[in-house]
Amino acid sequence: MTDRSSGNGSGRTQGGAAETGNGPRTAADADRPAGATRDKTRPLLRALRRASGLLRWTSLRVRLVFVFALVALTAAVSASGIAYWLNRNTVLDRTQNAVLKDFRKALDERAGSLPLRPRCAELQDAARQMAAGPQNYTVLLIGVDSEGKDCAATTDKNLLTLKTVPASLRKAVDTVRPVDDANRYPHHLYWQRREADDTPYLVAGAKVIGGGPTGYMMKSLATERQDLNSLAWSLGIATALALVGSALLAQAAATTVLRPVQRLGHAARQLGEGRLETRLRVTGTDELADLSRTFNRTAEQVEQRVQELSAREESSRRFVADMSHELRTPLTAITAVSEVLEEEADSLDPMIAPAVQLVVSETRRLNDLVENLMEVTRFDAGTARLVLDDVDVADQVTACIDARAWLDAVELDAERGIVAHLDPRRLDVVLANLIGNALKHGGSPVRVSVRTEDAPVTGPDGAGRTGSSAVPPASQGSQDTAPADAPQHPEGGSRAGGSLVIQVRDHGPGIPENVLPHVFDRFYKASASRPRSTGSGLGLSIALENAHIHGGEIIAANLPEGGAVFTLRLPMDASPLVESGGPRDGSGNTQNRAALRSTGPGTDGTGGAAGRDNGSGADGAGTGNGR
């Protein structure tokens, strides 16, 4: 009689690479150190960290799809793994229990009916009868005949012999257990799962209770493994389909989420371009709808604020223009009287003459200030226009210096024949302010150099470009002649297609670094201790505006060897700006202000415009306000 236990308790044994009980386990798994597992997981962790770093640089859509697919893949793999494990255990346990039950019954019926010392022929017959059962397994019976000789009867000598039975299983089968209340039988049925020639087998063994032969059986599990492999392929295909489906769902979800975000981004760009009437259409009550409402409220407040500021600015411009216009009438009378007093100054009482001179000088200063305010108002209102003509630059500079009696204090380095198509009056204003400012606040001599450059000063859209932050010394005043194929001016000069560069350098102490970013600011005073100045405080600002309206720029900088240099850069031909309505900004809108950059030596070119007191400008009386 055999033990009726299923072999799932303490009766299980394991040996070598065999699988025992319900779960697989190998000797290699038992002997592998824990550190080896950690070493194998480190590259995986590094790869995951690297992948997470790459995700930060991808688009939001890609990140959403990736995370969605990763979650779906994790869930699908986990579900497939659990399903495979449960089905594997179920299939193997069902087959195992059926085979062990049949083997136990056959061993009890066939071998248990044999005598204690059967003949080998009887053992062989019993083995064939046991193997002929419905489970189709191989049987090995081992016993001792009447003569005391060992006899082994097997139904397949190539597959199952005593040598092929694991030693651990034979030892467990031969072990005699004490019989007590908890253990009614001295022998039990034991089993193992193992592989032979890449084929899985179930091997079991037991002794007949009360004496008799020992029986072993070997059942192939190839069919079960094939079923499990088919299940694994099915689960893998299902996982792949789930991954593809999750990616499609993620794409649809990302599109649904990102479409409002894209509309918001487009609206924000339009708002940044000045289209303050831009609004978003709000639908729904979710977080994105709330974001759209917030954007609309913000845009409405910005539009209202800009309208208020525009109205205030327009009111301020009108006030300055009206005030300047109203001051011109009494100033005309006061100027006439001051001129009469100046003519009669020699015949006046010496005690009164200083007062008369003060009145005359302040009247002129007030007249210059009014003219400059009106000029600034025209720039702010966008009504300033160019009146272009062909200008010989050398003659223009000479005339500007001669008209103000500066010939003795100014050195001119200009080659005749450089002809530019500019507004001569505005060029004279720029030159008068730059040279007058250098004479007043710099050190003599003041050097004016003129040259041309091949690079155009304006881009395809007509926007003024900033020049290089490296300012060449004034000593490098050699003239860059126009190319031989440049168009010739009718009077013999050449008009290059590049840019005109005029540098005004002094030999003074230079401009303080903290003042340099404010040189071109209106009414800027370099020192609070000198609030009063003979200049109007607008000269350099007006010079800059006149450069901008030509599509050019003025750069202020200090030279390493000492002194300040102002570089005026203008296009050789400003007629394209007149035809297009003036310089344009990056968005294509017409503007009067071009880019400005003022730098000191060795800087990165990010310094601002800057700080001598601006001299008067519109009338060309080039006085400046202090550095």
Of 426, 441, 445, 442, the closest CA to residue 551 belongs to: 426
**Which residue has better confidence, 458 or 154?**
154
Spatial distance between the Cα atoms of 157 and 225, rounded to a whole number of angstroms: 24
Residue the block writes with tokens 């071009």: 594
Chain centroid to CA 428: how far? 48
Both tokens assigned to 553: 């720029």
With bands split at pLDDT 50, 70 and 90, how would you rate the model's confidence at 464?
Answer: very low
Q: What is the pLDDT, as a whole number, of residue 505?
A: 92
pLDDT digit string, tens, across residues 45-64: 676 666 655 555 567 778 77
pLDDT at site 621: 40
How many C-beta atoms surround the C-beta of residue 2 within 10 A? 22
Region 330-339: what's the mean pLDDT?
83
List, for residues 364-394, the tens digit of each pLDDT value.
878 777 777 777 777 777 777 888 999 999 9
How much is the pLDDT for 600?
Answer: 35
* pLDDT on residue 133: 82
Per-domain residue ranges of the chain: 304-372, 386-580
Please tell me the predicted confidence (pLDDT) of residue 435: 92
What CATH superfamily classification does 386-580 receive? Histidine kinase-like ATPase, C-terminal domain (3.30.565.10)
Residues 157, 163: Cα–Cα separation, whole Å: 11
Q: Which of 558, 546, 626 is nearest to 593 (CA)?
A: 546
pLDDT the model gives residue 371: 78
Compute the 3-state secondary structure of the chain and give helix, strand, coil in percent, each to the nearest 5. 45, 15, 40
Tokens, residue 598: 């003022």
CA distances (Å), origin 604, targets 51, 217, 608: 37, 89, 11
What class is the 304-372 domain? mainly alpha
223 vs 54, residue with greater confidence: 223
The band of 589, judged by pLDDT with boundaries at 50, 70 and 90, is very low
* Listed residue (228, 189, 215) closest to 94, CA to CA: 228
Written as one letter, the residue type at 479 is Q
- Rounded CA gap, 256 and 588, in Å? 34
The answer to whether residue 179 scores a pLDDT higher than 50 is: yes
Grade residue 494 by pLDDT with cuts at 50, 70 and 90.
Answer: very low
Paired tokens of 601: 């030596």
Q: What tens digit of pLDDT does each residue of 424-462 get?
A: 999 999 999 999 888 888 877 899 999 998 854 444 344
What is the tens place of the pLDDT at every residue in 254-290? 888 788 888 888 899 998 888 888 898 888 788 888 8
C-alpha span between 29 and 23 (Å, rounded): 13
The percent of residues above 70 in pLDDT, for the chain, comes to 74
Split at pLDDT 50, 70, 90, the class of 44 is: low
CATH fold match for the domains 304-372 and 386-580: no
CB 511 within 8 A of CB 592: no
Q: Name the least confident of 200-204, 288-292, 513-517, 596-600.
A: 596-600
Q: Looking at residue 515, what is its pLDDT? A: 86
**Average model confidence (pLDDT) across the chain:** 75
Residue 535's pLDDT band, with cuts at 50, 70 and 90, is: low
Which range (175-184, 522-531, 609-618) has the least confidence? 609-618
